[in-house]
Structure 1
Amino acid sequence: MSANQSFDPEALTGRILVVDDEPMNRQLMKELLTSFGHEVVCADGALQALALLDDSCDLVLLDVVMPGMDGLSLAREIRKRSDVGDIPLVMVTSLTSRQCRLEAVEAGANDFIAKPIDVMELRIRVRSMLRMKQAQDGVKQYQAHLEDMVRIKTRALTYTVENLTLARRSMCQAHRETIRCLAVAAEYRDANVAGHIMRMSKYAALIAENLGLSDEDVTLILEASPMHDIGKIGIADSILLKPGKLTPGEWNAMKEHSLIGANILDSASSTLIQTGSLIAMTHHEKWDGSGYPRGISGRHIPLFGRICAVADVFDALTTARPYKKTLPMEEALSIMNMVRGKHFDPKVFDAFVMKPEKVARIYRQHHSPAQRTVH
C-alpha cells in the first residue's frame, strides 16, 4: 500500500514492519498478520528496524520495552526521517499507565495494542492504520502531481520570457511579443475569460491617464497589466474551471496565483516584466488591508496594484462567468462604490468613474454584441 504500489480498498493489505526483541512475539505477530493477508517484515531491535524501514512499508508495529534503543526512542528517530516520517506507528505494549501512553503519543505513536495480543483488536487497529496510510498516500500523490504541473509550466513560461528578452533588442518589439505570448498563456486555460486581459489593461490605462500619470507610466501599465493573472497557469483545472463556489481549501489554493505569478515574472530584468510581477503580487490587495496575499493596506499597496484592483473587479462584474450573470455597467459601479475606501483606493476609484463615456467605449469595443448589457 505504499505510494508506489497499487492498493486494494477491499482487502486493505499492506507491508508491515514488526519490531520486537522477543523471537516468539515476532513469530506470533508475523503469523497473525500474514493470516490477515499482509506482507510482514520483522526486526529484532531498533537498529535493524531503521535499516529495513523504507517507503515500501505501510505500518510499523513496535514493542516499547527493548534493550538498547527502546520503542519510544525508535519512534522519535522514525519521525525525524524525511522518507518515512509520516508512517503510522502502533505501540505494542503491556504498559498501560496514562503516563506511558502520553509519552508514547509525544514520541509519535498513532495508536496502541495491548499485550497479550487480542486477535480482533489487532485486526481492527491495523485496518484503521492502513486506511490512514491510504489517505496519506493519496494526498501526497495529488500534491506531487500539482507540484509537477507547476514546475513544468513555470519552466516553460520562464524559458519563453527569457527567449523573448534575449531575442529582441528593440524594447517596443519586446513589449509586443511578451504581451502576445503571456496573453495566450493566460487565456488558453479558461475560455470564459477570453478578452479579459485586453479590457482590464485598457481600463487600467484609463485610470492612470485620469490620475495624471506620465505618458510613459500610462503605457507601462497598459502593457504590464495583462500579466496580472499569469499565476493561474499553476492552478489546477479542477479549481480554476470549477463552475460552482470554491471550498475554503480550494479558495486558499486559488489565492496562490498571486504569488505564483509574481515569482514567475520576478526573475526577468526588464522594467515591463518587473512591473508585471508587481501587479501580479498586489492586484488583490485591498485598501483596508483585508486583501491577499500579504494583507497590506493603503499607500503601502503600490499604485499600479491599486489601479489594477479597480480595473480587474469592474471587468469581472461586467463579464459573464459559468457561476454568475453579467451586470450592467451602472450596477457594477454602484456595487464598487459601496466598497470605495474599503476595497478600493478612493482616489483611484474616483479617477475611474471620472469619464464614464470612455469606460463605456472600452466596454463596447471589447465585448461581443451578445455579451453587452449597455447600449
Structure 2
Amino acid sequence: MQDAEAVPADMLDRITGALDAALRVRDGYTHSHCGRVVTLALELGRTVGLSRAALRLLGTCARFHDIGKIGIPDEILRKPGPLSGAEYERIKSHSRIGASIIGQVDAPDMDECARIILHHHEHFNGNGYPDGLTGDEIPLCSRIIALADTYDALTSRRSYRDSMPAGGALAAMRGEVGLQFDPRFAERFFRMLGA
C-alpha cells in the first residue's frame, strides 16, 4: 500500500475527476457504461456485506474498470461488426492499459484498484484474461465488477448488436455461473435483480 500522505484527499478527488472527464470525452458510451456498473456493483457489494472502506474501493474501481479503452483506436472500439482475432487481442489489452493508468496515481488503495481493474475479465474457471486466474485468486472486487459489467454490456445497445432484455441477459449469465462468474456472488446478484 502506498504512503497515506502521498496525495491529499482533495487532490485525489481532482485527479479521479479529471480521469473521469477524460473517459467521458474519449468515449461517451464507455463513460455511461462505467456509471451503470458502479451502481450495480455497489448494490451487490452492500448486499454481500462489504465494509464502508471496501465499498469505497469497489466504487472507484468500477468507475474506472474500462478506462483503458481510451488507449483503443476508434476503428476497433466502435467497429460495427465482429472483431478479427488481432482486434480482439487489442481490445483485451484495455485491462492492462487501465491498470497502468490507475497505477500511476500515488494514493492509498490505488495500487489495489489497479490490480482489481487488471483482473476484471478473469473467469472463475481460469479461462479469462489477462492472467488466467481462478476462483479466489481473482480479487473479490473484480469478481463483483465482472457481474455488473457483463449485465450492463448485455442489456445495452452496442455498435455491433442490439441490447438484450433483462431476462435474456440474466438467463445467459446463469449459464456462466461457476465458469465465468463466482457462484456465491452470482446467486446474490440474480436475487438482487429479482431473478
Question: Which TM-score applies when normalising by structure 1?
Answer: 0.48
What is the rounded CA distance, in whole Å, between the counterparts of 1:239 and 1:219 in structure 2? 32
The DSSP-based 3-state class of the residue aligned with 1:213 is coil
Of 310, 315, 331, 2:152 maps to 315
| Map of 1:228 onto structure 2 | 65
State the distance in 1 between where 2:11 and 2:39 align: 19
User: Residue 272 of structure 1: CA displacement?
Assistant: 4.3
The aligned amino acid for 1:253 is R
Aligned to 1:244, which of 62, 71, 81? Answer: 81
Per-residue CA deviation, residues 161-198 of structure 1 (Å, 9 max, x unaligned), is: xxxx75xx3x2x34543442222222322333341111
Give 1:255 deviation, angstroms. Answer: 0.8
**Equivalent residues, number:** 190
Distance 2:95 2:32 in 1: 20
1:258: how far off? 1.0
Q: Partners of 1:335 and 1:261 in 2: how far apart?
A: 27
Is the aligned partner of 1:300 residue 2:156?
no
Worse-matched range after superposition: 266-275 or 347-356: 266-275
Q: Cα–Cα, structure 1 residues 192 and 227, in superposed 2: closer, same or farther, change >3 Å?
A: closer
* SS at structure 2 position matched to 1:290: coil
Give matches, 1:152-163, under 5 Å: none
The answer on whether the counterparts of 2:98 and 2:117 sit within 8 Å (CA) in structure 1 is yes
Asked whether the 8 Å contact 1:288–1:343 carries over to 2, the reply is yes
Partner deviation per Cα, 1:74-113 (whole Å, 9 max, x = no partner) = xxxxxxxxxxxxxxxxxxxxxxxxxxxxxxxxxxxxxxxx
178 and 332 in structure 1: CA distance in 2 versus 1, 3 angstrom threshold: farther
2:189 to 352, 356, 366: 352
- Aligned twin of 1:210: 47
Pairing of 1:325-336 with structure 2 (within 5 A): 325-336=162-173
Aligned residue number for residue 119 of structure 2: 282
The structure showing larger relative contact order (alpha-carbon pairs under 8 Å, at least 6 residues apart) is 2
Under a length normalisation based on structure 2, what TM-score does the superposition of the two structures give? 0.89
Question: Conserved in 1, the CA contact under 8 Å of 2:12 and 2:107?
Answer: no
Alignment partners' CA distance in 1, 2:104 and 2:28? 28
Q: Which residue of 2 aligns with 1:273?
A: 110
1:320 & 1:179 partners in 2: Cα distance? 27
Query: Does the aligned pair in 2 maintain the 1:210–1:351 contact within 8 Å?
Result: yes
Q: Who is 1:254 aligned against?
A: 91
Aligned to 2:28: 191
Instruction: Note the aligned Cα RMSD (angstroms).
Output: 1.9
1:350, CA displacement in angstroms? 1.4
Please tell me whether Structure 1 or Structure 2 has the larger radius of gyration of its CA atoms. Answer: 1
Please state how far the C-alpha of 1:277 moved relative to its aligned partner: 0.9
Aligned partner letter, 2:120 = H
**Structure 1, gaps ≥5 residues long:** 1-164, 360-375
Is the alpha carbon distance of 1:267 and 1:189 closer, same or farther for their aligned partners in structure 2, counting shifts above 3 Å?
closer
Which whole-Å deviations, capped at 9, do the CAs of 1:267-313 have from their partners, x for residues lacking one? 33323432331222000000011101111111111101111111110
- Change in 2 beyond 3 A, CA 1:307/1:175: farther
Shift of 1:247: 0.3
Q: Is the 8 A contact 1:223 1:272 kept in 2?
A: no
Over the matched positions of the two proteins, sequence identity in percent amounts to 35
The structure with the greater share of residues assigned to strand is 1
Q: How far off its partner does 1:346 sit? A: 0.5
- 1:323 deviates by 1.2
Are 2:132 and 1:324 equivalent residues in the alignment?
no
**In 2, Cα distance between equivalents of 1:241 and 1:219:** 31
* Residues 190 and 241, structure 1, Cα contact 8 Å, conserved in 2: no
* 1:319 Cα offset (Å): 0.7
CA distance in 2, matches of 1:233, 1:184: 12
Q: Is the 8 A contact 2:103 2:110 kept in 1?
A: yes
Alignment match, 1:341: 178
